[in-house]
Amino acid sequence: MKPAAGKAKATRPMEQTFEETRYLKYLIERKIPIRVKLADNDEISGTVEYYDQRFIRITRKDAPNLFVFKHDIKYLYEIGHP
């Protein structure tokens, strides 16, 4: 069935924009310090060293490095540039 003349066919929004990947690469390349707010309201500070589909690795100076599952993250933000 053809759409009526003059009417645009509705398109579904993209499921994946890849903005998360682009942003994480940006943080890694520039070694930008971040703070991560977890679902339980704990906070972790450090830099992102590695990421994959399920987690990110946070490198910290005065504490052990951590692997944090993405589903446990409320949000993260930059705390300054080196």
pLDDT at 1 (0 to 100): 55
d(CA 7, CA 10): 9
pLDDT in tens, 9-47: 778 777 778 899 999 999 999 999 999 999 999 999 999
Sequence spans of domains, the chain: 28-78
pLDDT at 9 (0 to 100): 73
CATH of 28-78, one of 3.40.50.1970, 3.30.1180.20, 2.30.30.100, 1.10.10.10: 2.30.30.100
d(CA 27, CA 76): 11
In this model, does residue 49 exceed pLDDT 80? yes
Higher pLDDT: 59 or 15? It is 59
In this model, does residue 82 exceed pLDDT 60? no
